[in-house]
Structure 1
């Protein structure tokens, strides 16, 4: 008997570990519920709900292949070895198959499971699956992990010119097992069920993920480069949640993008090239997790920035979290996050820079808040994005580059459509007034909207002074 232990790979198609297990003999799948671990990792209730809904869909599709999906509980990952060993003994499992995950806790968990199983004579196989390239194989000439995306991308391009990672064959139907799948719980204690409106935005299952990918490739990818920065336009693929849960793979995304661009990834249609770049950014941040494990430990990628004098400003932090900063683009973005579990990528950068530069509040506060609300919460991408915005990270924005929320708003939501959607209290304002209602004083229609909690110009100067006072601003990040 072969066992596939599912984690962030909740799909039947192009699933490396599933295909490998099924090729070796009768296969059963298991998923471990780990609510205490999820809470420690700040996983959002909407994300846990999304996993459960996708598990339920996957259970049905695996059932058609006669692969039962068993559900077990290991509250903390340190309980995973004992739970899996127990199951392997019950089912007389010869080998356990997993797709690799990245991050300190994930790596330690898998090493502990492998050790316990091997001591019992049970094989443990792990496979490259959620990335295009194995971490440790895309390196600088001196053999270190890249710290700058453009250099990393260049080597990825060279590798892709030689060969594009192939899709993995979907397993066929196996003989029926003597036992059935376990029911997938509809909810987990400690994680509130999200609103029906939020659930409706994110239907579960591979079919939905594939539909989104195909629709994007057919109708939107050509305009991706020109429209992706405008939050009122449907310019993005809306696939991040499906990628984070592994309901669709980066290989599937890459193949569809290449197909739409005559097989090209660094020339041809600029929309497709830009979108493939985004897949490579996702790749880059996961490689960073492996190469510089301190970022898994809530530490700055650039050690010298640990000396920054972040402000303790709980009232301002709460205003940012609750979408009442008095800056419409910030508040509209935060409402989008709170109500949908997702935020437009351009706005993620804008609100992150506002928190870390204008309010000078530690990026870790923002990173944690995002993880607690994002349906696509992913340690590598979320940490990478926050540290980029805070100028503490790899390939980060120079510390003196500070997005002005008003000019970002005027540039990327010039008609105020996004703001009006999320802040209906400002709907009466015209497209010039809506970006900065404070200019109007207490005129009718904005009386119930707060004044800005910070002076943008003075706060920018404060941030520059804080960064300039650091002992050094070296570009090297050093090793762990």
Structure 2
């Protein structure tokens, strides 16, 4: 019986893994994980994401061992080296097939095509599968046959086209006979893990992902539509790190939502329907990354915005990064990011729009900073969110929509609880005064004055965008 090599990447789970399920149906399986540290760092991932990734690979090895599937680890510095490394491993093992789940950003897609061509040229079977999303890019298109560039019609097409078969979950493989091939010893985490706050904040693995899903659905989802925008409330699923690395599948999430919502996805319980919408947003950005590869190459989706006259003041950018802007909600959010490797989604929008509109700093600088710190740093979602805030991307906020940070703070952190938690300097102030302390209070507690006046910054941003027309 022929041996199949299963290549894991950002699909670090045994249950409901399409390629693993299909590989195990053929016969014995040996798994491999390529540790591409140099490439990941070139792509901008920092210690938090990489540490969580490698911890997830180690957790995967333990899970696979329960099915007698050995996991081999190979250090392959760049994607260009992946085809040769995988072919050499397959030939050493005597594997006749390579199975993997597809990834859609430009570099990953080019790597995978090179792997496919290498194996076929060598006369070996290679199979890839749609796993991370419900529809292959190109399956959902506009009436003109184009990729969607606006979320709402994409979402409507998604709901209109979804079939039960696309949400069916795949069984974990049966326990195979003990293989003569032994798993590699669990690799030690690299030295960069010492700089990862994620090691204290997040536990890797599909079991932990399932625990988060159960807690969210049993305790929080019914109020999700109301609570998800309030950062002081534990109102979100906290599943984004697990979804970004495939420690849980979108199918498991969708099935769990339908089970609680009488089989419905777009209607029914407002919390469940809203959460499903957020899962579809993740898929939308995967389609964008594939259909418009320029966004994977540091380019704006709205090409005319490449001519924007960004200020790019290094002192302003440093103040934003360090949480010293003088706007409490911005500074509290940036400190949450730096200390936990995660930021509440409402705050991601507020801080991104502040950097791009108030400080007129190129969105690419903020995008890179987030990716370097986020444990859930997903390229497509991060890029899509930043370009939305900067009014340069798909489904972008109109350029004249410029959040007032203080208004946002009062609306979504009304009692100043989140601010007090992350800015101890302001914790002694009454909650209502934490949003925009007057100069006397700022001086008393040692909190800086605002970098820029909101109205002045707003007019400057409007003028800058109008100059494009």
Normalising by structure 1, what TM-score? 0.95
In 2: Cα distance, 1:338 partner to 1:299 partner: 26
Q: What residue number does 1:11 align with?
A: 13
Unaligned segments of structure 2, at least 5 residues: none
What does 1:133-172 correspond to in 2, within 5 Å? 133-160=135-162, 164-172=166-174
Report how far residue 31 of structure 1 moved: 0.5
In 2: Cα distance, 1:425 partner to 1:111 partner: 53
Calculate the aligned-residue CA RMSD, in Å.
Answer: 1.2
Task: Give deviations 1:405-448, integer Å, cap 9, x for gaps.
Answer: 0000000001111011101111111122101124435443x22x
In 1: Cα distance, 2:423 partner to 2:439 partner: 17
8 Å CA contact 2:193–2:199 kept in 1: the answer is no
In 1: Cα distance, 2:271 partner to 2:166 partner: 19
8 Å CA contact 1:52–1:184 kept in 2: the answer is no
Equivalent residues, number: 467
Q: What residue number does 1:464 align with?
A: 462
In 2: Cα distance, 1:248 partner to 1:22 partner: 19
Q: What residue number does 1:226 align with?
A: 226
8 Å CA contact 2:21–2:172 kept in 1: the answer is yes
Cα gap change, 1:254 to 1:194, in 2 (>3 Å): farther
8 Å CA contact 1:3–1:95 kept in 2: the answer is yes
8 Å CA contact 1:55–1:184 kept in 2: the answer is no
What does 1:69-218 correspond to in 2, within 5 Å? 69-160=71-162, 164-188=166-190, 191-194=192-195, 198-218=198-218
Report how far residue 199 of structure 1 moved: 2.1
Q: What residue number does 1:396 align with?
A: 396
Report how far residue 164 of structure 1 moved: 4.8
8 Å CA contact 1:103–1:293 kept in 2: the answer is yes
Q: What residue number does 1:454 align with?
A: 452
In 2: Cα distance, 1:54 partner to 1:374 partner: 16
Report how far residue 250 of structure 1 moved: 0.7
Provide the secondary structure at the position in 2 that maps to 1:60: helix
Which stretches of structure 1, 4 residues or longer, exceed 6 Å deviation after superposition? none
Q: What residue number does 1:264 align with?
A: 264
Provide the secondary structure at the position in 1 that maps to 2:433: coil
8 Å CA contact 1:353–1:403 kept in 2: the answer is yes
Cα gap change, 1:406 to 1:462, in 2 (>3 Å): same
8 Å CA contact 1:11–1:58 kept in 2: the answer is yes
Cα gap change, 1:150 to 1:180, in 2 (>3 Å): same
In 1: Cα distance, 2:318 partner to 2:307 partner: 24
8 Å CA contact 1:49–1:194 kept in 2: the answer is no
Report how far residue 141 of structure 1 moved: 1.2
Cα gap change, 1:438 to 1:42, in 2 (>3 Å): farther
In 1: Cα distance, 2:38 partner to 2:154 partner: 36
8 Å CA contact 1:438–1:452 kept in 2: the answer is no
Q: What residue number does 1:290 align with?
A: 290
In 1: Cα distance, 2:198 partner to 2:426 partner: 23
In 2: Cα distance, 1:163 partner to 1:62 partner: 26
Higher helix share: 2
Task: Give deviations 1:304-357, integer Å, cap 9, x for gaps.
Answer: 100100112001000000111111100100000001100000000000000000
What does 1:245-264 correspond to in 2, within 5 Å? 245-264=245-264
Report how far residue 122 of structure 1 moved: 1.0
Task: Give deviations 1:180-216, integer Å, cap 9, x for gaps.
Answer: 2112323225x34345x64232111111100110111
In 2: Cα distance, 1:201 partner to 1:356 partner: 29
Task: Give deviations 1:336-390, integer Å, cap 9, x for gaps.
Answer: 0001100000000000000000000000000000000000001100000000000
Cα gap change, 1:163 to 1:99, in 2 (>3 Å): closer
Task: Give deviations 1:61-92, integer Å, cap 9, x for gaps.
Answer: 10111100000011011000111111011001
Normalising by structure 2, what TM-score? 0.98
In 1: Cα distance, 2:166 partner to 2:271 partner: 19
In 2: Cα distance, 1:142 partner to 1:405 partner: 39
Provide the secondary structure at the position in 1 that maps to 2:131: coil
8 Å CA contact 2:44–2:372 kept in 1: the answer is yes
In 2: Cα distance, 1:431 partner to 1:207 partner: 39
Task: Give deviations 1:13-63, integer Å, cap 9, x for gaps.
Answer: 000010111110110000011111011101121111111111111111101
